[in-house]
Amino acid sequence: MRFLKKYSVYIINVILVSSLFIMFCYLSKTYPFTTKPFGMSDGLGQFKPMIYEFFTKMKMGMLGTYSFNNGLGNPTIFNYLYYVSSPINFIALLFNSPNLMYFTILLIKLIITSINTTIYAKSKTDNKVAIILASLSYCFCGWFLIYYYYLSFVDIFMMFPLFQYGLERLLNEGKNKIYVFSLSYMIISNFYLCFPVCIYTIVYFIIYRVLYKQDSFKEKIHSFLDISKATIIVFFITFFWLYILTDSYLRMGLRFEDPHFNDYYITFKSLIASLFYGQEDIILENYGETFPNICCNTLILVSLIYYFLNNKISIRERVFSLIGLLIIINVFTVYQLDYAMNFFHEIRGLTYRYCFIACFLEIMVFLRNVQDFDPKDKISRRQIIISVLFVFALYTLAKDQFYDLSKLQLIIYLPSILVLLFLYDNNKVFRSILIVLISLESVTIFYFPKLLMSKEDEIINVSLKKKDDKFRSYIGKNNYYCYEHGIEELNIFVNCNMYFNGKVIDILTSMTYSNAIYDLKYFGEDAMFNTSIFHDKRNEFIDMIYNVENRYYLEKIYSVNKDVLKVKIQPNNFASNQDNMIKAMTGEESIFDINTIPLDENNKTNDLYYIGKNYYYFDSYDKKGNKKNSISSNPYILQKKTKYNKEIVYYVYNKDKLKKAYDILKKNQIQYTHYTDSKIEGNINVDKNQLIFTSIAYDTNWDVYLDGKKIKPVKIINSLMGIEAKPGKHKIKLEYKYHFTIPVLVSIISLILYLIDCFDKRRVK
């Protein structure tokens, strides 16, 4: 009983949050109440299959160092450290059902989020109602509505309240244990979403400790040394993760994109609307209007306005809080700052993924208000009325941004909050009503947008009956087509055959070699900037040289003419690039037949829609008849809006010429004697003036042996690995080795030394 009394608020929060989450699953008619898979988008196509595959391999002792299951292949350890290294994910070892595993992991992370929020709230107030409301408001804020299925993102969201608690203890008391633990955990779980947390830490330190806190210069320096020391400790504890990820980034050629790729905009109305409800669609339409997901609930929003009116809070505190608010607004509205917060990364529609920080700041404001809240005071009553009216004015200003269902939030909850604040009484009935009201609002914020989801958006959740079935689906608003493959016995979906690769190329920058993306794009593959390449076996040149299973299939390794080392591929000219590559590899001439389609004079300014069965290539011209640029299309279907003033030029593969080139290349293919993802051995013949060509991405961790002697490979075009060899028969061996013994030792020794230091301090005390 003593235990229950001491931890009653934790128990209540865990029960409430779990119940509401399960209620959402029931209302959404998803697992575990139906066979419909839980989650959507990358949750189904990436995180669930990746986690399940990772721990299945771990159980079977098959966790290799390299894998060809994704695109051209990539380092396995990088893939998993990047996405699924959260310690909580090890729970997957207990499950044989991917759906149950995925659901349980997410539920546990949500429960821990509630506990961490409760820890922080208890440090600010003893008011149990306020603590419960803070937990509910954060756990079901607008950010969670959008990103709940990104399991690696949820870890950062989960740990941030504890991190804030540890940060405040470090700055105020010099105690660093919670700060070190929480920041280390976040880096291990998801380093790139932890990056904006680090930026936030710097800004918070400057605003709070340097500018706001009225203490001596010596104390400020001492505080700076405390946080610097704690951060250095975190760096060494997580050195293994940071080393592997940084090393992989450098070797795989991953690039920081131009900030203009993030040149979407947010209107003032959209920013206001985001305070009321969560965004239901995170996919941008040509980088058009979007907004962050910073809503919590009506009570928290009223509290945010009330904070700046509350005369019981010092003007100094409110001024510095306003400075922080203005910084947040600038980060949201200035795309260069948003680009930096996204780890200098093109976000592919995952807009403002760091805005959970803003959500928690709203919770912090609410807890600060609780300390001085007195509804019986006339001035407080007046400030509450003004706050509610201000919220209503904001709603009126941005009302054209709202859907009909989301208007219920204002119609029902705003008047209810006003009445409850005026009738505030600390009896059990009143507290229960307030908690139920906020619970219901959490469900509506989380659930209503799901009712608005179109059938096209839900198609990703459609179950497939047969293992080999596949369909082409329309996803979101920006005409992105993709194959989906169902794995019946696992009851999961694998995006573009990503983890059960039937020799189909699907590449994402976050998971494989960036240079390979650019090369494939310039060879005419369907591309979305430099973020993804999708190959659906229509580009026969790609089939042939990239080891794709089709009629022009070649093994991963074969001999070609040395002239291939001289090839320089050019942007936006795929036909020329393919011709130059084939000519250099085989000596053959163009593999294309060139045709033209004259445009009707009446249609030369209209948008053109053309669907072809072959792979088409178009040149566009300006009004003077000068060629502007060359446009390659999706090889399956062309739906490109372009204005032409002259004619359409298109290139179709000449089957005889392509077959002739293929016959030349297939003569000297490798004869395997050993083949695994991480080790390839075999025999190959090299003719005069040839070298060994591979469709394996260039990576310095591949040890290459020719006739037993280790040699250094050469780079072909920008991304592939080649081996120079004299004419004759050769034995070759390629072995992928990841050298991370020293980084592992650094992390382990650092952790042990830190724990010894903590133990010694406790023993002395």
CA 333 – CA 467 distance, rounded (Å): 46
Cα(274)–Cα(285) distance, integer angstroms: 18
Q: What percent of the chain has pLDDT over 90?
A: 31
User: What's the pLDDT at 527?
Assistant: 59
Of 1-10, 314-323, 493-502, the range with the highest mean pLDDT is 314-323
Residue of 182 and 398 predicted with greater confidence: 182
741 contact partners, CB below 8 Å, separation of at least 6? none
pLDDT tens-digit profile of 156-190? 999 999 999 999 999 999 999 999 999 999 999 98
pLDDT value at position 641? 38
Q: What percent of the residues of the chain are helix, what percent strand, and what percent coil, each to the nearest 5?
A: 55, 15, 35
Cα(470)–Cα(476) distance, rounded to whole angstroms? 19
Distance CA(688)–CA(701), nearest Å, equals: 29
* Predicted confidence (pLDDT) per residue in 110-152, tens digit: 999 999 999 999 999 998 888 999 999 999 988 887 788 888 8
Looking at residue 505, its pLDDT comes to 41
Per-residue pLDDT of 529-562, as tens digits, reads 555 555 655 678 888 888 877 788 889 999 999 9
Residue 134 identity (one-letter amino acid)? A
CA distance 209 to 171: 7
**pLDDT of residue 53 exceeding 80:** no
Question: How far is Cα 164 from Cα 304, in angstroms, rounded to an integer?
Answer: 19
Write down the mean pLDDT value for the chain.
76
What's the pLDDT tens digit per position in 696-713?
Answer: 989 888 999 999 999 999
pLDDT of res. 720: 92
Asked if residues 241 and 750 have their Cβ atoms less than 8 Å apart, the reply is: no
CA distance 78 to 130: 42
- Alpha-carbon gap, residue 256 to 345, rounded angstroms: 6
Rounded to the nearest 5 degrees, what angle is found at the Cα of 762, between the Cα atoms of 760 and 765?
Answer: 110
d(CA 31, CA 13): 23
Computed over its alpha carbons, how large is the radius of gyration of the chain? 29
Residue 508 pLDDT more than 50? no
Q: Which residue has the higher pLDDT, 238 or 74?
A: 238
- Which of 9-23, 36-50, 290-304 reaches the highest mean pLDDT? 9-23
pLDDT tens per residue, range 639-671 = 333 444 455 566 677 888 889 999 999 999 999
Sign of CA dihedral 95, 118, 178, 203: positive
Q: What is the pLDDT of residue 690?
A: 93
Q: What is the mean pLDDT of residues 70-87?
A: 78
- Say what the pLDDT of residue 539 is: 74
State which CATH number among 2.60.120, 3.30.300, 3.40.50, 2.40.50 fits the domain covering 668-738. 2.60.120
Q: Alpha carbon 482 to chain centroid distance? A: 18
pLDDT, tens digit, 9 for 90 and up, residues 750-761: 999 988 888 766
Q: What local confidence, expressed as pLDDT, does residue 464 receive?
A: 28
The mean-pLDDT minimum among 392-401, 488-497, 634-643 falls in 488-497
Sequence ranges of the domains in the chain:
2-36+85-451, 496-553+562-661, 668-738
Quickly state the pLDDT bin for 627 (edges 50, 70, 90): very low
**pLDDT at position 594:** 72
Cβ atoms of 467 and 488 within 8 Å: the answer is: yes
For the ranges 230-244, 268-282, 573-587, the lowest mean pLDDT is seen at: 268-282
Q: Would strands 709-711 and 702-706 be described as parallel, antiparallel, or unpaired?
A: antiparallel
